Amino acid sequence: MPGLEVPTWDPETAMLIGAILLEAIVLYVGYAGLERLVGRRLMKFLIGGDSDAQ
Amino acid sequence: MLSSLIGTIGSSPETIALFVGFGLVVGLLFGFFGMGGSFLVTPALLMMGYPASVAVGSGMAFVFGTAVIATLKHHDLGQVDYKLGAIMIAGTTIGIEVGRASVFYLESLGLAGGVISVVYVFLLGGIGLMITRDALSGDSDGGIDHDADGDEDLSEYEIPEIATRIQETVRIPPMVTLRGDVRVSVWVITAVAFSTGVLSGFLGVGGGFIRMPAMIYAIGVPTPVAVGTDLFEIVFSGGIGSYLYGQSGGVDLSIVAPLLFGSALGARIGSAATAVVDADDIKVYFGGMLLAGSVAVGIGEVGSYLGNELLETVGLFLVIGAAVAVAGAIVFSTLRTLRSTRGRVTATTD
């Protein structure tokens, strides 16, 4: 089929995409930790009380 | 890769702040709607003077990273249907290739650019009009409705009339049961996946803005599940796309890393907001954003046809402005809902 592209193995590109995946997971976990740490206080400041809307 | 990382450190603080802020807005929309990445990031990078391959490749890599984060959040909320996702991925992949083949065919006829733009404008405008009309009519059967949290609520979700009609008419086995007790023929899912894939490949976009309404209106899955499953699918399509662009040097980590830093927070807020915000508050903004996108593409095309750069810039600012406004509306609606909920709880306690 015209335009069909089949990915070939390229370790450097795989590492690049892996780095993005790793950054995404680290940020997800990091922000979750931050949310647990300051989330309640931030919600209290924003809405004037605790919220379970996480 | 190392040079990209050094590039991030070498970027000016203003550029990094701009990318982080822009990532925050896109992440918010992405987490909330399950769409809105590629058609915002790529034109913005092009406008900043990056080469087309870097703008498209880095945009795609950013969408991939954001989709990973938003999918993890939606998984935690029980809003990802992996069975539906797997069938959708298969159908969409084949559809994308057919769509791309159609582009090559039209290109050989010298008609590709014009036809793609016209389809883009009508599709964005049509979906935008449909959702806006649905929201303004106050009819809550389907659409971008996020008032479901957990399996029990999902099964109570009202299926759009058109989806019910399809489920009752097309009962070709094998049948599958999806989250929210939706029972539908595999062939319906495959047909939806294939046709949205064709459009996605034809237009060269991620396709969330086509796939998500299609999952709601044609398959009948609850909106939170449509959003979560769509994001799950984007993880795969975005990952493969980024890899292909990365092979030809199109992925620049100095762009992707700060964008992702902002979008990770935005996607968290957007995904969490799906369980809070009243749908009617936001549906109209979503439809409005698509309409603005349709007008912007139209203006941009007229600009490039006339060779007028100002019109192209106006088109881009219209899209980005609409995105920022909708992201702000989501945050505002979330805080307003939380405040009113708290007010009611306090009044009841008193």
pLDDT, tens only, B87-110: 988 888 888 878 877 877 877 777
What's the pLDDT band for B150 if we cut at 50, 70, 90? Answer: very low
SS3 of residue B175 by DSSP: strand
Highest mean pLDDT, choosing among B205-214, B221-230, B283-292? B221-230
pTM: 0.76
CB contacts of B64 in chain A (<8 Å) are: 17, 20-21
Mean pLDDT of all residues in chain B? Answer: 78
Residue B158 is classified by DSSP as P
CB contacts of A44 in chain B (<8 Å) are: none
The domain total for chain B is 1
Instruction: Kindly give the confidence (pLDDT) of every residue in chain A, 54 residues in length, as a single tens digit, with 9 standing for 90 and above.
Output: 344 566 678 889 999 999 999 999 999 999 989 988 888 888 788 777 554 444
Scanning A2-41 for CB atoms below 8 A from B yields 2-5, 7-8, 10, 12-17, 19-21, 23-25, 27-28, 30-32, 35
CB contacts of A23 in chain B (<8 Å) are: 65, 257, 260
Closest-CA residue of chain A to B270: A54
Contact at 8 Å (CB) between B180 and B155? yes
Q: What is the DSSP code string of B240-296?
A: HHHHHHHHTT---HHHHHHHHHHHHHHHHHHHHHTTTS-HHHHHHHHHHHHHHHHHH
| Interchain proximity B268–A31, CB inside 8 Å | yes
SS3 of residue A7 by DSSP: coil
Is the pLDDT at B119 greater than 50? The verdict is yes
Using CB atoms, pick whichever of A12, A21, A49 lies closest to residue B342.
A49
B177 bridge partner residues:
B183
Contact at 8 Å (CB) between B53 and A9? no
Using CB atoms, pick whichever of A7, A16, A43 lies closest to residue B253.
A16
Query: How many cross-chain Cβ pairs, A to B, lie less than 8 Å apart?
Result: 105
> Distance between CA atoms of B96 and B107, rounded to whole angstroms?
16
Token code pair at residue B343: 């007010």
ipTM given for this complex: 0.81
Closest-CA residue of chain A to B339: A47
Higher pLDDT, B228 or B350: B228
Closest-CA residue of chain B to A44: B339
CB contacts of A35 in chain B (<8 Å) are: 268
The parent domain of residue B193 ranges over 2-349
User: Average pLDDT in the B79-89 region?
Assistant: 89
What's the pLDDT band for B262 if we cut at 50, 70, 90? Answer: very high
